[in-house]
Amino acid sequence: MASYTLEGSTGTWEIVCGLEVHAQVISKSKLFSGASAEYGAEPNSQVSFVDAAFPGMLPVINRECVAQAVRTGLGLGAAINLWSRFDRKNYFYADLPQGYQISQFAHPIVGKGVVEVTLSDGSTKEIGVTRLHLEQDAGKSLHDQDPTKSFIDLNRSGVALMEIVSEPDIRSPEEAGAYLTKLRQILRYLGTCDGNMDEGSMRADVNVSVRKAGEEFRTRCEVKNVNSIRFVMQAVEAEAKRQIEVWESGGEVRQETRLFDPSRMETRSMRSKEDAHDYRYFPDPDLLPLVLEPDWVSRLKASLPELPDAKTTRFVSEYGLSAYDARILVMEQATADFYETVARGRDAKMAANWMMGDFFAALNRTGRSIEDSPVSAANLSGLLDLIADKTINGRIAKEVFEAMVETGEAPAAIVEAKGLRQVTDTGAIDDAVEAVLAANADKVAQYKGGQEKLFGFFVGQVMKAMAGKGNPALVNEALKAKIG
């Protein structure tokens, strides 16, 4: 991949970027309490005494949240730390009743891993994962409910988050987008985070610096809480351009926390960067260190689903797909499963073409997801079978498919109801050929005079005469026999 650079008045600059992703763990209850972790409930309806930080309440670790973090670590090919510890990260905020967040600072549950991304030119790149740790989410301040008051919703207080920190390996907006896309895909396959950025269940802090080729890293700024992949890509670019201007005008980039404003495509200073010592981290005295049994980790590993990279490789070898097609079909687990149902025991390449062509177009057009597709996997399979056993030809299949999208009915029923069976009766085909040739004597003469292109015209006319239902191979054969 040609490296991505930005031009300034003093020459060429390179972007350096690392992402800290907060991914909300899929679990029934919170990290240290039994309150529901479900999204979207009435404010403050899912708050235990622990989440509200009543005096004397004690946290109790949720085993499922730990399992989810371990699964995620394993899915990222990362080291699982059998011993980890919870620390208190102390700060004051209205939506943080404890006055501290329970997090993992010095000893995270997951160590180094890697995410391989594929870029638009087909090249691949490995982005290092530094660590993954478990922590509590804070509550939510609502500033838009009342003209003079702010409200606090503690439903999110105490929900389990995984913070996944990348190495500063990202060098362009595209790489940042590809990394987040891939990470989200892996989390969704694992079932450890739903990745819904618009509901806030995945959000990214974007660390950006710029440098001249060959230099050491320069000072970075952190753009907080960016909530869509597109915004992350835009924030990387906007922040890098801002820093280039600062450096080139003789200034110095100061380490700080910034916010991205998508409507103005710029970042704004929020506060100067806090350091670890500002948080007065210390081991949480209410919690024992977290010790994992190696057997338990092995069992979790054995139960992981097939992940996107492995599935892509298998689709290429098992179904003869191009890597590009395979990647599109494994983008979502549900799409991959749908594809396999249709492809198994059938023409796998043809199944892929139908899915990536007419099927995806129909989903787009109707605004449906694969889960509530009007065309079921069984029905698309049925359509391919009708083509394979020559009940219908490819052209009629398109018509049948459109009727399937509209009615959700099975293809065989549509073919019968509309009388779309392919005509393979050579007598009927011969009759149609004769009629077309008789009606176009002038063209037949031209054809015989050397205008061979006209053959296609005759095929078209015969098909038209047969309402599109002729078997194309037999129509060709019959025409050749007559005027060949």
Question: By CB under 6 A, is residue 254 in contact with ligand ADP?
Answer: no
Task: Figure out which of the listed residues 81, 98, 103, 207 binds ligand ADP, where binding follows CB under 6 A.
Answer: 207
Helix axes 333-343, 377-388, angle to 10 degrees: 30
Nearer to Mg ion, 20 or 431 (CB): 20
The reply to whether 348 sits near ligand ADP by the rule CB under 6 A is no
Range 19-38, binding ligand ADP (CB under 6 A): 19-20
- Selection from Mg ion, ligand ADP, none that 220 binds (CB < 5 to 8 A by kind) is ligand ADP
When the beta carbons of 165 and 259 are compared against ligand ADP, the nearer one is: 165
- Select the binding partner of residue 373 from Mg ion, ligand ADP, none (C-beta < 5 to 8 A, by kind): none
When the beta carbons of 19 and 187 are compared against ligand ADP, the nearer one is: 19
CA atoms of 52 and 152, how far apart (whole Å): 11
Determine if 209 is a binding residue for ligand ADP (CB under 6 A): yes
Contact characters 148-167, ligand ADP, x per CB under 6 A? -----------------xxx
Indicate which of ligand ADP, Mg ion, none lies near residue 103 (CB less than 5 to 8 Å, by partner kind): none
Among 208, 232, 300, 352, binds ligand ADP (CB under 6 A): 208
Nearer to Mg ion, 215 or 274 (CB): 274
220 lies in the binding site for ligand ADP (CB under 6 A): yes
Nearer to ligand ADP, 50 or 127 (CB): 127
The residue (of 173 and 411) whose beta carbon lies closer to ligand ADP is 173
- Residue 97: partners with Cβ closer than 8 Å, 6 or more residues away: 51, 52, 53, 139, 154, 157
- List residues near ligand ADP by CB under 6 A: 16-20, 165-168, 207-209, 217, 220
